[in-house]
Structure 1
Amino acid sequence: MKKILILSLCVFSLYSCKDEVKKEPAVAINNTEFDDVLDDYFEESLKLYPLNATSQGDTRYNDMLPNFLSDEFRTSENDFYSSYKKTLAEVDDKLLTSSQQMSKEILLWECDRNLERLGFREELLPINQMWTMQLMMGQLASGASSQPFKTVEDYDNWLKRLEDYTSWLASAKVRMEEGIKTGHVLPKSLVVKITPQLKDMTEPNLDNHLFFTPIKNMPDSFSDVDVDRLTEAYSAMISEKIIPAYQSIYDFMNTEYMAAARTTSGIEGIPNGKEYYDYSIKLYTTTDMTADEIHQLGLSEVARISSEMEKIKKEVGFEGDLKAFFDFVRNKKELMPFTSPEQVIENFKVIHEKMKPQVDKLFGNQPKTPFEVRRTEAFREASASAEYNPGSIDGTRPGIFYTPIPDVTKYNMYSDEDLFLHEAIPGHHFQISLTQENEELPKFRKTLWYSAYGEGWALYTESLGKELGLYTDPYQYFGMLGAEMHRAIRLVVDTGLHSKGWTREQAIQYSLANEAESEAGITSEIERYMANPGQALSYKIGQLKIMELRAKAEKELGDKFDIKAFHNQVLETGCVPLALLEKKITTWILNSK
């Protein structure tokens, strides 16, 4: 990296001192050098975060797993982001194209947010029930995620990565012991959900152990010698290292940590919790909004959506109040028709076929990356929400919409059309796949994720249902309103939990009073917000900004407004902070006039 950076800085210095800066060749040379800086950043980031490389289909670091909890790793992160921030400070914007200027602004945002993150003690809270390393490694171990198990080398790579993983598990325990001493501990209600997940990984029967799954699915092409060697190596790794590591951390969390876990629900309950929540708001919304502003916005949106729900209640002839209608929808047997998980998956495919003819009317650019619907894996299904996992950049691994079906007899389908739009098409699958397939973007921007943009886009697409031929059933339209209400409620309960002293129970009751989700589902959601402060704010904040920008474009362009062109403008630059998206759309409107 350093040789290129030095050359790049020399070029910037040279042309800032000469009139020749206005000449096209000088700008072109500089553009190339700046592109090299962006490529260097991307390549170094993959080596720093090898799991990201694996998820993108890059196999070079599949045997690596740095100890993200160590002081040494955190120092390397600090050096990495500080170095690139310093480099970017030397870059003259006048020598960059508009696309490169956006890349520079995005990369500065990345550096600033990560350096800010390193000022907090996140490593003292290494495990939660929703997002953290032990769950990611479980997905990879299943053989159904991004870690490949096609060659003998793939199998050996995973063994090496597991060796590093046992070190991470040991460090997680040490960090949590440190967290007990400093007051950085999880709420007890979350610890109760984590311990069964850990206990499952202490299963002594290898045939039933998740981490033994790759051995049970070895390719027929492997030689008998390789089969025997790998079977023995995996058996020893799981029996002698993985199971004992899980047993140790389970015993610790189920006793000492459980006793030390806090009774407060919000992140304000840890040292510097208020400052951490302010950081989280900025990280996830990419705005400068305050917790109070977001809380009030949430209350306003809840009131607006409630009035729309009243119209649906009246349309279907329900006599009771809205809360009673929620219970009616939750328990309506006709909305729980399935007897097997396969029927749930098939219903999503039917939804896809129904909307296909209308998609071309709204979207000119559509992804080539293939797409699948799958049931969430059993080991994480009980605590999981529906989600989208991106395909690989080269298109060899499809995008996957995972839906949990823990009890098919209680699976309520009233929001399935809306859910498909959000998680699949034209939501996350279109947005992420088009970004990854865009050859005009530098590599580091193809895999960026800004929740306000990404989740905001997916929530915006839920509003397109009628334009796509869906929501003809009032219950499915109510499902859309319910999903939007769910995101509006998040603004209220997330800020309530983390900045207003709300308890877990208060947040659950507020949700039950304002939406039609089951109590079990709401409880899981509230605990999710407790585990990851601020993330739940991003959906509604992003959606409202995209809807605002569409309304602005429709008003200012009138008959010249083209919905395909608008969607292309929003999607073509990939994930960006909302301020940069607004600047881009405003420029597009002016140029379109």
Structure 2
Amino acid sequence: MIRARFLIAALLLGGTSPIAVAGQQTAAGAAAPAADPRLKALYDAEWAFREREFARLPGSQRGEATGSDHLPSVTPAAQQRRAAYWSDMLAKVDAIPVEGLSNEDRMNHAVFRTWLWQEINNIEYRTYEAPFNSDTFFWTGLNPRSPFARADDYQRYLGRMRDIPRYFDEQIANMRAGLKRGYTVPRVSIENRDKTIEPFTAAGASNPFHKAFDAMPATIPAARRQALRAEAEAVIRDSVAPAYTRLLRFMREEYMPGARTTIDAYSLPNGRAFYQDRIREFTTLDLTADQIHAIGLKEVARIDADMQATMKEAGFQGSFPEFLNFLRTDPQFYARSPKELLSLSAYVVKKMDGKLKDNFETLPRYRFTILPVPDELAPIYTSGRGGLDSCLMNTYALPSRPLYSIPALTLHECNPGHSFQAAVALEAPLRPPFRQETYFSGYGEGWGLYTEWLGKELGIYEGPYEEFGRQTFEMWRAARLVVDTGIHTRGWTRQQAIDYFAKHTALAPLDIANEVDRYIAWPAQALAYKLGELSMRRMRAKAEAELGDRFDPAPFHSAILDMGSVPLPTFEDQMERFIAAEKASARAAN
């Protein structure tokens, strides 16, 4: 497309993004205000502070080995130091008149201010006293998924490994404080999570920290590789394994027996306000739990009708519950090996690759890989999770991983979902580092769900079963609105939540149990997905209606992705600007 080539050329020549261009003119055609140097000075200063506080190498970018030679401090004193700094920063940000900012700086302001509020709010509730949930842990992810490229990266990695005992001691002290005031992860949602610690207690080569040293690149001289491996063996034996052993003992002897038996957020200290603030954090919207519950019920009813229609299209003659049982139990729907599941995911990625050029103006250079979820996490992990470097697919318990769901899962997590989205954000032009690093669930997960729907538009799903898999995923996210608010504000039991999912989706029992435990342990996080998707679908429908035959999905997608992760109100404002600019362009062309 001529327009696409022009925009890409503008980006390469140092221009701003299309969405920024859309907002750079006033109604009278005059240039918008210049970027406010006060705002830039604030977010630049805060970024330097953040790099120091979280043990990052100055000036490092995502996708590189960004860790320093130590881990961050998580003591209460460190938390309060950050809160004081960010509170002062927030006051200074609020003193800048938004109406005097350019469109790009309005986005910077909204992202920066929202992020600051979230960080301050979490410290005020002392959420660091429960520093994990049912599938995301502070003790995992400290070892890389793939080897490092340079010897210096390994040397810094060894430094972080040596720092693990101190880091774990601080986390344990925080968790003990949480135990004393009744602020813990619910007991039921952490059953068997202690097993994820066990592999790291090994003192020898089987320890997951050793893997990065097993495949060191040949560009590192052989003598240096041997020395690094020898150093790693000593650090694992003397520091890493003993620290994990102490953590495992604490979890089994103190934390898990003392964790609260209630499952709702309302039972926590100041629980009602806490849950409302979690809604605001994860969705970036000012909605109440009752409003979200009602949206969920409406969406469940709509998607249920779609699923019934697809069941009839598949030619199934029985009832809907019988159809769900058929999908959960018939061997034709399940992989016989991990490779079969991973291969289907890779096929879907390549099939979507063939559609990208017609639906996206800019394709990122950064590549991701598809990997199985690590063995130490797989039993309690979600079906998949995508990121910049890799897209993880869970190959544990294959009879619980239906193949008809893999296409939707792959689009969401890998391409053009989270892995693609993260690469676009990394390579986006003219964006401050804090914008590259900030992630809002409503925007990010909304995009993931939107790409599942986009797969239907682009013909990715093959046959009624894969379409039903997509609908099951859509129902899963709609049901979350009902279940999460039901658990945390309406007294639902864990079994009620499990039964609700079993009734409305074809998810496997293991997936359902893991997901419900996730919602119990991570209040309101699951609400962001469907609400974000509804926002994106609403803006797509508006763009199609107002632009008519001139609607082009490629610039529409650029408008979404080029702005990066933003709060949902900011997203909708920017999309309104995009639609207005496209209409103005159409009028000028005529």
Q: CA deviation at 1:369?
A: 1.6
Tell me the residue number matched to 1:290: 288
Q: CA deviation at 1:120?
A: 0.3
- Please point out which of 78, 94, 102 is paired with 1:89: 94
Matched, 1:451 2:450: no
Name the CA shift for 1:88/1:178 in 2 (closer, same or farther; >3 Å). closer
Name the CA shift for 1:223/1:32 in 2 (closer, same or farther; >3 Å). same
Q: CA deviation at 1:434?
A: 1.6
Q: Which moved more, 1:275-284 or 1:54-63?
A: 54-63
Q: CA deviation at 1:280?
A: 0.8
The 3-state SS of whatever aligns with 1:568 is helix
- Please point out which of 66, 70, 78 is paired with 1:64: 70
Q: In the TM superposition, what are the counterparts of 1:531-550 in structure 2 within 5 Å? A: 531-550=521-540
Name the CA shift for 1:250/1:429 in 2 (closer, same or farther; >3 Å). closer
Tell me the residue number matched to 1:266: 264
Tell me the residue number matched to 1:15: none
The 3-state SS of whatever aligns with 2:369 is strand
Q: In the TM superposition, what are the counterparts of 1:493-512 in structure 2 within 5 Å? A: 493-512=483-502
Name the CA shift for 1:246/1:550 in 2 (closer, same or farther; >3 Å). same
Q: CA deviation at 1:457?
A: 1.0
Whichever residue aligns with residue 127 of structure 2, its letter is E
RMSD across aligned C-alpha pairs, in angstroms?
Answer: 2.4
Q: CA deviation at 1:455?
A: 0.3
Tell me the residue number matched to 1:395: none
Whichever residue aligns with residue 195 of structure 2, its letter is P
Matched, 1:328 2:320: no
Name the CA shift for 1:555/1:177 in 2 (closer, same or farther; >3 Å). same
Asked if the contact 2:164/2:243 (under 8 Å) is kept, the reply is no
Asked if the contact 1:354/1:469 (under 8 Å) is kept, the reply is no
**Separation (CA, whole Å) in 2 of partners of 1:571 and 1:57:** 18
Tell me the residue number matched to 2:466: 476
Q: CA deviation at 1:72?
A: 2.0
**Separation (CA, whole Å) in 2 of partners of 1:561 and 1:487:** 28
Q: CA deviation at 1:170?
A: 1.5
The 3-state SS of whatever aligns with 1:464 is helix
Q: CA deviation at 1:520?
A: 0.8
Asked if the contact 1:66/1:73 (under 8 Å) is kept, the reply is no
**Separation (CA, whole Å) in 1 of partners of 2:460 and 2:79:** 48
Asked if the contact 2:373/2:393 (under 8 Å) is kept, the reply is yes
**Separation (CA, whole Å) in 1 of partners of 2:540 and 2:33:** 34
Q: CA deviation at 1:101?
A: 1.8
- Please point out which of 299, 307, 314 is paired with 1:316: 314
Q: Once the two structures are superposed, what CA deviation does each residue of 1:189-224 show, in whole Å capped at 9, x if it has no partner?
A: 2332221112332224x0211122233334455567
Whichever residue aligns with residue 538 of structure 1, its letter is A
Q: CA deviation at 1:508?
A: 1.0
Q: CA deviation at 1:43?
A: 3.0
- Please point out which of 120, 128, 141 is paired with 1:115: 120
Whichever residue aligns with residue 354 of structure 1, its letter is K
Tell me the residue number matched to 1:351: 348
- Please point out which of 68, 73, 79 is paired with 1:74: 79
- Please point out which of 101, 104, 107 is paired with 2:109: 104
Q: CA deviation at 1:503?
A: 1.8
Q: Which moved more, 1:207-216 or 1:270-279?
A: 207-216
Asked if the contact 1:294/1:495 (under 8 Å) is kept, the reply is yes
Q: CA deviation at 1:154?
A: 2.3
Q: CA deviation at 1:241?
A: 2.5
Q: Which moved more, 1:206-215 or 1:531-540?
A: 206-215
Q: CA deviation at 1:387?
A: 4.0
Q: Once the two structures are superposed, what CA deviation does each residue of 1:380-423 show, in whole Å capped at 9, x if it has no partner?
A: 111222444433xxxxxxx3211010134653201111112111
Whichever residue aligns with residue 296 of structure 1, its letter is A
Q: CA deviation at 1:546?
A: 0.8
**Separation (CA, whole Å) in 1 of partners of 2:208 and 2:351:** 37
Q: Which moved more, 1:172-181 or 1:579-588?
A: 172-181
Asked if the contact 1:66/1:164 (under 8 Å) is kept, the reply is no
Name the CA shift for 1:410/1:111 in 2 (closer, same or farther; >3 Å). closer
Q: Which has the higher contact order (CA 8 A, sep 6+)?
A: 2
Matched, 1:166 2:171: no
Q: Once the two structures are superposed, what CA deviation does each residue of 1:291-334 show, in whole Å capped at 9, x if it has no partner?
A: 11111111111111111111111112222221221111111211
The 3-state SS of whatever aligns with 2:191 is helix
Matched, 1:131 2:136: yes
Q: Once the two structures are superposed, what CA deviation does each residue of 1:104-145 show, in whole Å capped at 9, x if it has no partner?
A: 1221111122212211021221233311211222xxx2x425
Q: CA deviation at 1:52?
A: 9.5
After TM superposition, the score normalised by the length of structure 2 is 0.88
Q: CA deviation at 1:562?
A: 2.4
Quick one: percent identity of the two aligned structures? 31
Asked if the contact 2:349/2:414 (under 8 Å) is kept, the reply is no
Q: CA deviation at 1:513?
A: 1.2
Name the CA shift for 1:520/1:211 in 2 (closer, same or farther; >3 Å). same
- Please point out which of 476, 480, 496 is paired with 1:486: 476
**Separation (CA, whole Å) in 2 of partners of 1:222 and 1:437:** 28
Tell me the residue number matched to 1:342: 339
Name the CA shift for 1:429/1:234 in 2 (closer, same or farther; >3 Å). closer
Whichever residue aligns with residue 453 of structure 1, its letter is Y
Q: Once the two structures are superposed, what CA deviation does each residue of 1:42-93 show, in whole Å capped at 9, x if it has no partner?
A: 333222223698781455642121122x022112211331232233234344
Name the CA shift for 1:436/1:26 in 2 (closer, same or farther; >3 Å). closer
**Separation (CA, whole Å) in 2 of partners of 1:499 and 1:214:** 44
Name the CA shift for 1:48/1:386 in 2 (closer, same or farther; >3 Å). farther
**Separation (CA, whole Å) in 2 of partners of 1:51 and 1:265:** 36
Tell me the residue number matched to 2:154: 155
**Separation (CA, whole Å) in 2 of partners of 1:224 and 1:292:** 62
Name the CA shift for 1:516/1:94 in 2 (closer, same or farther; >3 Å). closer
Q: CA deviation at 1:548?
A: 0.9
Name the CA shift for 1:275/1:26 in 2 (closer, same or farther; >3 Å). closer
Matched, 1:405 2:395: yes
The 3-state SS of whatever aligns with 1:406 is coil
The 3-state SS of whatever aligns with 1:548 is helix
Matched, 1:383 2:389: no
Matched, 1:46 2:46: no
Matched, 1:184 2:183: yes
Q: CA deviation at 1:286?
A: 0.6
The 3-state SS of whatever aligns with 1:374 is strand
Name the CA shift for 1:89/1:312 in 2 (closer, same or farther; >3 Å). closer
Matched, 1:515 2:508: no
Asked if the contact 1:388/1:423 (under 8 Å) is kept, the reply is yes
